[in-house]
Amino acid sequence: MRYRELTVSGAWEVTPTLFGDERGVFLEWFKDAPFHEAVGHSVNLMQANCSVSAAGVLRGIHFADVPPGQAKYVTCVQGAVLDVVVDLRLGSPTFGEWDSVVLDDVDRRAVYLSEGLGHGFLSLEDGSTVVYLCSTGYAPGREHGIDPFDSDVSIEWPTRGRNGLELELSLSDKDSNAPSLREAERRGLLPSHSDVLRYVENLQVAPKGQR
């Protein structure tokens, strides 16, 4: 299992070791020891989600108030998605920047993004199934989003799916009407980089179960 930190600090690409034969494939898609070594603390698991999407479905960009925020450990068990992480932390050296990883049922990579980062993905195939572990439970009052097509962020979303055909994008009303990065900042929705660092540092020193 290999960890590679993305250009957005606080996010990692995780590449598992695959053991395959004529019967199929086995892998460990999460393991605490290498996770702790890379990130500095264990996963504080409070909720596990599963999302199934048709080709062209775009979900995000989502984020949550910090504290406590919502860290996510994400993989795609069927199909393929482009998984995107955006730095929404005011005062961060990489504020407004993004990075991406293709998650699919071939390489079976995962992405971990810590608190304060924005997250979204675009399904590249019908039936793409994304599962993710969350550090906090769903709380609509403290969860927000920004426009995934905001020109100030300029995410390069794919225009064609896994089969090479042109994608017809589909978003929820909430994501379609999400504010721009600048508008979210004006409304006071974005997390502070210093608050996020303080919260993550507390995770690194707190005993498991006391976070």
For every one of its 211 residues, what pLDDT tens digit does the chain have, with 9 covering 90 and above?
Answer: 999 999 999 999 999 999 999 999 999 999 999 999 999 999 889 999 999 999 999 999 999 999 999 999 999 999 999 999 999 999 999 999 999 999 999 999 999 999 999 999 999 999 999 999 999 999 999 999 999 999 999 999 999 999 999 999 999 999 999 999 999 999 999 999 999 999 999 888 765 555 4
* pLDDT, tens digit, 9 for 90 and up, residues 192-205: 999 999 999 988 87
Kindly give the residue spans of alpha helices, DSSP state H, lying in the chain: 32-39, 173-176, 181-186, 193-205
By annotation, the residues acting in catalysis are 62, 132
The Cα 203–Cα 173 span in angstroms is: 35
Tokens of 81: 């998605």
Closest CA to 118 of 196, 187, 170: 196
Helix (H) or strand (E) holding 84: strand 80-87
Burial-class residue 21 by CB neighbours within 10 Å (0-12, 13-18, 19+): exposed
Which tens digits make up the pLDDT trace of 12-55? 999 999 999 999 999 999 999 999 999 999 988 999 999 999 99
> What pLDDT does residue 208 have?
55
Give dist(CA 181, CA 148) in Å, integer. Answer: 9
